[in-house]
Amino acid sequence: MFDDLVDYVRENYSRASKIVELGVGGRIEVAEKIKKNLPMAEVLVTDKDLAWVRKHVTGRVRAVADDVMFPQTPIYQNASLLYSIHPPFEILAPMADLAGKIGADLLVVPRSDEQEMFHDGWQKLVRNGRTLGWLRTSRKNAVS
Amino acid sequence: MVSSDAIVVWLEQVRKDDIHIVGGKCANLGELTAKGVTVPPGFAVTADAFRRFLEETKIGDVIQKTLTSSNGPRDPKQYEEASEEIRKIIESAPMPSDIANEVRSAYRDLERKTSNPQVKVAVRSSATSEDLPDASFAGQQDTYLNVKGEDQLVHYVQKCWSSLYTPRAIFYREEKGFPHEKVLISVGVQKMVDSEVSGVIFTLDPVNGDPSKIIIESSWGLGEALVAGVVRPDRFIVDKGTLQIVHKEIVPKMVEHVPNHETGLTMEREVPAERRNAASLGDEQVVELARLARDIEDHYQTPQDVEFAVERSKSGQKVYVVQTRPETFWARMKTPSESGKSPVLDRVVVVQGLAASPGLHAGRAKVVVGLQDAGRMMKEKDILVTRMTNPDWVPYMKIAGAIVTEDGGTTCHAAIVSREMGIPCIVGARNATKLLLTNKEYTVDAKAGVVYQGLVEEVLRPAAVAAQQIPTVIPITSTRIYVNISLPELAEKVARETHADGVGLLRAEHMMLSVGKHPRLLIEEGGGQKMVDAFAEGVRKVATPFAPKPVVYRCLDFKPDEFLGLPGGEKYERDAGHVGPNPLLGFRGAFRYVKEPDVFRLECRAIRKVREEFKLTNVHVMLPFVRTLEDFRNAKKIMEEEGLKRSPDFKLWIMCEVPATVLLIDKFVLEGIDGISFGTNDLTMLILGIDRDDASIQEIYDERNLAVLRAMSHVIRICSEHGVTTSICGQAPSNYPEVVEFLVREGAVSMSVNPDKVIETKQLVAGIEQKLILEGMRKMRENNGDSGALKPRWPK
């Protein structure tokens, strides 16, 4: 599941020192796969659900409680990429603000009926002829 | 006064400033003991004892060598190896006899104090590095429970020491350039509390930082289960000012952690049926705990995260505070502002009320009870906070930068006068005189009716101020403008800020993600009710702030591949053969409800619960991706069996997103629908024959294609003829103003857009409606033989 995303991150962020999944919900596998592919990178996942984070705090991937609507920016500092899978559309703007503030790229894999919300400043990522997601590149953060 | 070279100190001897001696955890417990709070009795093995252990066994150098031989700071495997080696060294080195003797002697004293030979103790590390701003990331040293006897204790103290060298802790210190030898560790030893109930109290809402609330989470048994997240706790929200319980969530608690008296360890067991659904805390206990936590916060002058345990003995129940620590997530947001003013806490809402006179102001609050106080306290540009004003207050209102009153509505004295004076004003702000503090800085956003803690620069930015000076006009339109919502938590804010006429699309998918399991797996595990409760709660959060305006709940419309991320997804979607080559055209929508009625019935029950138990009859239902009349008929039958029958009070809508629905709309109308909503994304895909996910043909995907517009026109005409309401919840109106004009002209009754587009769409629609009126008038004149031009009518 989301193997195309993992491949994309591996190929394009091989030199990243930090990658953060926003609003990870109940699915930590993607972050773990990215960590496995990029062992040198620190891979963090965040969610506002404190109980969930406490449950997952001991993996290879670090889990931190944070609400992207009111983010604590130090958590994300030095990240090259923030990504989110199937986020509710209401948090798109706060995610973009956060990525802009810390100079990270933002990659969003939306649910199928929320695909049409990506316009100015978003680049469609296509892999194997299918839409993989949408990328917002930070000027500061050149993709390697 | 504790000597810094002591080996063991009792908790009652230490204070909060002794972190360098006993670590943060024990220092806090000592401080609480001194304050009279009941903490389990115990002592701390000091950081200096650990330092002496390193020196006397000479293993400090060995550790250093092991760490420096770990090549390259970025190889996690090497951290793991170094950690394993160092921990082995620490745990196997003999503890110097004087240290061991003191630890043993203190344990015997504890046996005497508690009148409990072989008293069981909890052994916890208490790091001295709390001064590191991000220490909570690096911390997480070990805790051992149910330790019994002197020998075991000495062994576990050493294990705690070694936990200072977990791979994560080593990595963290290397990353931050913090010397390993500077970080010491103390170990707390306390009598085990045989908890009947345990829990955590936050003195602010950890989700949004709201400092006016106290959140208590509790569950049966030892606190481990709660902290580890294996149980969903009962949750209580208490108003910090009044100590009233404002929200209570009692959930089934399936497991608890209890001491295993045979092994001396803890074990997980099922909660006996009679306690499973019972509240783990009574209301009185909740209030007492809230009061205790509030006192602790007052003492430390910063929000706290307090762990507690309730022990039952022959003499009754006793509440212990097991641990307290500063709440770091929100506290860390307090950074000195560049201007050197007081710390800023970004967007923490302190009180809310009715926006009576729009505007923004930041300044110091003056909480004024009587007029005399006003004369004494109020200075130019202060925020006047009081219960209510009357004409005698006007001189002080004039000099205020903003006004906040506890009572009143938009026509009260304060509201009228402040509007006349152009002073930002919020009225009806409950508990404002208790929650706002004199001489503290706040930002009053009287557009949103909210007072934020501190100076919120984002709110006060010149652009925001400039925008504020031109009041936003929200016109009334004949076409209703609804809003789309995915996250129920935001509904209240959206309702307040957008002035939408209702919710035209409440998505269920994120509620499902919050439940965290595939619905079929839930049913298999007997957790169907969990889904009903979670969905009902989500819908309640949306329907309440919008009531009595309509809220249209769209039933779950995951495509099969979108379920895969949930536990159970692979089994019940892929293995079940539901993930076809194009999931958008696959096992979804009304067809799925009929094939899997047990899942659909859970959704129906949730809606029924909202309508009947919560009395929110403004909630209606919309079925997505309806392909055939038969599917619709069958899904409707299931709804009726679940008590959701169409009535003047309960509306049934369908999404119009499949060409078959367009072509057979007259049949659907006769079958019995109250409304339709266009899903332009799928409708465009299916009318134009474009796979929305296939990147190679996206250039011809366009919701404004004439074929799509004709389809919508046809449906609106038929529905209008039959009194069926028409709407749209796809992305088209948000993206294309010309689609908005098209829909208004065709006679769509409403349209539903994203929250950020509501006001803009209202303004756009108002303009279009005025244009239509004008065109109509011209036409009438033309029909009457006039030129059609509108001429000024001069007074006679």
Boundaries of domain holding A80? 3-136
Cis peptide bond upstream of B548, omega within 30? yes
Q: Is residue B789 part of a domain?
A: no
Domain total in chain A: 1
Measured CA to CA in angstroms, residue B348 lies from B39, B241, B330 at distances of 31, 16, 9
Q: Is residue B343 part of a domain?
A: no
Q: Is residue B341 part of a domain?
A: no
What CATH number is given to the structural domain containing B704? 3.20.20.60
Residue B562 near chain A (CB below 8 Å): yes
Instruction: Mutate one of A50, A111, A113 to test the B interface: name it (highest B CB count within 10 A).
Output: A113
Q: Which of B413, B499, B510, B714 is catalytic?
A: B413
In tens, the pLDDT along B610-621 reads: 999 988 999 999
Percent of chain B beyond pLDDT 70?
Answer: 85
Q: Residue A28's closest chain B neighbor by CA?
A: B565
**């046809």: which residue's tokens?**
B714
Q: Are B325 and B300 in contact (CB under 8 A)?
A: no
pTM (2 d.p.) = 0.52
Q: Is residue A71 part of a domain?
A: yes
**């067991």: which residue's tokens?**
B269
Q: What is the distance between the alpha carbons of residues B305 and B325, in angstroms, rounded to a whole number?
A: 5
A60–chain B nearest CA distance, Å: 9
* Domain shared by B574 and B683, yes or no: yes
B549 contacts: CB under 8 Å, gap ≥ 6: B500, B501, B502, B503, B618
Mean pLDDT of B582-592: 93
What is the reported pLDDT for B707? 96
Q: Could you tell me the maximum CA-CA distance found in chain A, to the nearest angstrom? A: 39
What CATH number is given to the structural domain containing B460? 3.50.30.10
Residue A75 vs residue B100, higher pLDDT: B100
In tens, the pLDDT along B297-324 reads: 888 878 888 889 998 877 788 899 988 8
Contact list in B for residue A89 (CB cut-off 8 A) is 484, 486, 754
Mean pLDDT of A99-113: 91
Mean pLDDT of A84-112: 91
Binning pLDDT at 50, 70 and 90, where does residue B544 land? very high
Both structure tokens of B554: 């769209």
Q: Residue A129: count other Cβ atoms within 10 Å of its Cβ.
A: 11
Percent of chain B beyond pLDDT 90?
Answer: 38
Mean pLDDT of B751-767: 90
Q: Is residue B705 part of a domain?
A: yes
Contact list in A for residue B134 (CB cut-off 8 A) is 74
* Domain shared by B32 and B115, yes or no: yes
Contact list in A for residue B730 (CB cut-off 8 A) is 116
Q: Is residue A38 part of a domain?
A: yes
Nearest to A115 among B133, B140, B692 (CB): B692
Q: Are B629 and B591 in contact (CB under 8 A)?
A: no
Q: Is residue A142 part of a domain?
A: no
What is the reported pLDDT for A142? 42
Q: Residue A130: count other Cβ atoms within 10 Å of its Cβ.
A: 13
Q: Is residue A144 part of a domain?
A: no
pLDDT at B792 over 60: no
Q: Is residue B337 part of a domain?
A: no
Specify whether the backbone of A128 is left (phi greater than 0), alpha (psi in -120 to 50) or beta. Answer: left
Q: Is residue A143 part of a domain?
A: no
Q: Is residue A141 part of a domain?
A: no
* Domain shared by B133 and B228, yes or no: no
Q: Is residue B339 part of a domain?
A: no
What CATH number is given to the structural domain containing A123? 3.40.50.150
A74–chain B nearest CA distance, Å: 9
**Nearest of A134, A70, A133 to residue A97 by alpha carbon:** A70
* Domain shared by B504 and B594, yes or no: yes
A139–chain B nearest CA distance, Å: 23
* Domain shared by B181 and B228, yes or no: no
Q: What is the distance between the alpha carbons of residues B217 and B232, in angstroms, rounded to a whole number?
A: 9
Binning pLDDT at 50, 70 and 90, where does residue B231 land? low
Boundaries of domain holding B600? 480-780
Both structure tokens of B778: 């011209």
Distance of CA B13 to the CA centre of its chain: 39
Domain total in chain B: 4
A55–chain B nearest CA distance, Å: 5
* Domain shared by B562 and B705, yes or no: yes
* Domain shared by B741 and B657, yes or no: yes
**Domain end among B401, B435, B469:** B469
What is the reported pLDDT for A50? 67
Nearest to B347 among A25, A40, A70 (CB): A70
Instruction: Mutate one of B510, B571, B572, B622 to test the A interface: name it (highest A CB count within 10 A).
Output: B510
What is the reported pLDDT for B464? 38
**Domain end among B267, B297, B331:** B331
In tens, the pLDDT along B560-579 reads: 988 887 889 899 999 999 99
Contact list in A for residue B510 (CB cut-off 8 A) is 88
In tens, the pLDDT along B439-454 reads: 888 999 887 778 888 8
In tens, the pLDDT along B99-146 reads: 999 999 999 999 999 888 989 998 988 877 643 434 433 345 577 888
> If you write DSSP's letter for every residue of A22-73 in order, what string do you get?
SS-TT--HHHHHHHHH-TTSEEEEEES-HHHHHHTTTSSSEEEE--TTS--G
The verdict on whether B413 is a catalytic residue reads yes
Element (H, E) at B155: helix B150-162
Mean pLDDT of B680-690: 94
B274 contacts: CB under 8 Å, gap ≥ 6: none
In tens, the pLDDT along B148-159 reads: 899 999 999 999
pLDDT at B251 over 60: yes
Binning pLDDT at 50, 70 and 90, where does residue B468 land? very low
Please classify residue B250 by burial: count the beta carbons closer than 10 Å to its beta carbon, then call 0-12 exposed, 13-18 middle and 19+ buried: middle
Q: What is the distance between the alpha carbons of residues B559 and B588, in angstroms, rounded to a whole number?
A: 6
Nearest to B584 among A25, A112, A129 (CB): A112
* Domain shared by B199 and B186, yes or no: no
Q: Is residue A102 part of a domain?
A: yes
* Domain shared by B398 and B484, yes or no: no
Distance of CA A136 to the CA centre of its chain: 11
* Domain shared by B73 and B203, yes or no: no
* Domain shared by B130 and B59, yes or no: yes
Q: What is the distance between the alpha carbons of residues B392 and B715, in angstroms, rounded to a whole number?
A: 62
What CATH number is given to the structural domain containing B163? 3.30.1490.20
Binning pLDDT at 50, 70 and 90, where does residue B175 land? low
Size of interface A-B (CB pairs under 8 A): 114
**Nearest of B689, B690, B736, B745 to residue B712 by alpha carbon:** B745
Average pLDDT, chain B: 83
* Domain shared by B180 and B211, yes or no: no
Q: Do A70 and B682 touch (CB under 8 A)?
A: no
Percent of chain A beyond pLDDT 90?
Answer: 31
Global ipTM? 0.74
Q: Is residue B715 part of a domain?
A: yes
Residue B74 near chain A (CB below 8 Å): yes
Contact list in A for residue B347 (CB cut-off 8 A) is 70
Q: What is the distance between the alpha carbons of residues A89 and A68, in angstroms, rounded to a whole number?
A: 12
Q: What is the distance between the alpha carbons of residues B528 and B605, in angstroms, rounded to a whole number?
A: 10
What is the reported pLDDT for B263? 67
**Domain end among B469, B503, B535:** B469
Q: Do A90 and B490 touch (CB under 8 A)?
A: yes
Contact list in A for residue B731 (CB cut-off 8 A) is 116-117
Element (H, E) at B316: strand B316-326
